Amino acid sequence: MHNAEKQVNQESLNEIFNDITHFLSKMRRIFVFTLYENGELSQGELARIAGTTVTSAANIMMKFSEYQYRLIDMNSRGKYRYYRLTSLAVQYVEYINSQQEKEAEEQIIHHSELMLLQRAKNSLNEFKRIYDDDWDVFLDDCLISYIECKEMEETEENLIQGMLHSLAIMDLDECENSMDKFLEIIEVPILSKRIEKFMDTFATIRPILQLLKNEKNVYYVNELFLAIISEDVSEVLAYAKRLGVQQQCEKLQETIGGLKNKLYGKDKEEIFVFIKRFFPGQQQLCFTLADKIYNI
């Protein structure tokens, strides 16, 4: 009856799981997940928790016994029958749970991407509203000032930051084609080039910021940036090795060194504002770096 079970290792698990999904009616599915959550149960306990009668439970178990893959094992102890999932059924439930978690995560990421892309669009549309026919000229000037760490009006600073930080965060989250989607809206080649220049600069910082998703890396990332600012080569190499970013280190040093040169002689608040342009969502790190640059 269960010869097919012996072929599990030779067949694709995904195909087997698909077959199981088609086999599981609503109540059969409830039985499987009830046993997964509760472990071994008597027939009466299983029927009660699943919300059915003992007679119906017996009929359902008959269907499981006739199925080509054994999903439930039965043991008799005295006059009672006890049921528990087979290893295949446990694998199936864990697969289904992981797929549901993955789908939920993808939905959250997709929703987040849409919100960030809309934020970038809103910033662009506000520029068009404020500057009307000359919006592209003003946007070009603002992008240059932003990238070159020059002072800007607060409104323009916020709009550019809203636009570029949204793109940078989507890049951090590895949202596919987000940059292309936004550049299609711009439709002005020179502006696209400016934005790409910012993203190229951000690309040297991105691998390090991604490490901050793991709390264990926070201290070492901070120390790496501080060592770069201090130009302490041995410390830079040590922290880069600790974080596994030796290959990215040279470009990172060039980027941070370039920023430091542009910010030389400015007061701490100005440095903080300019540093923040390239480190989206990293307020504390920006403050630490600004303090270090100011005190050099």
What's the mean pLDDT when you consider all of the chain? 87
Domain with CATH 1.10.10.10 in the chain: 3-85
Can you tell me the mean pLDDT for 52-73?
A: 92
CA pair distance 85, 38, nearest whole angstrom: 10
The pLDDT tens digits of the residues spanning 64-111 come to 999 999 999 999 888 888 999 999 999 988 888 887 776 655 554 555
Q: Give the predicted TM-score (pTM) of the model.
A: 0.62
| Nearest residue to 64 via CA among 5, 134, 126 | 5
Provide the percentage of residues in the chain whose pLDDT is more than 70: 92
φ/ψ of residue 42, rounded to 5: -75, 165
* Mean per-residue pLDDT, 225-251: 93
Lowest mean pLDDT among 99-103, 158-162, 216-220, 231-235: 99-103
Whole-angstrom Cα distance, residue 44 to residue 214?
A: 47
Q: Is 64 in contact with 85 (CB distance < 8 Å)?
A: no
Residue 8 is predicted with a pLDDT of 47
Residue for token pair 């550049």: 183
pLDDT confidence of 1, banded at 50, 70, 90?
very low
Report pLDDT for 6.
46
CATH T-level fold of 3-85: Arc Repressor Mutant, subunit A (1.10.10)
**Dist CA 211 CA 223 (whole Å):** 13
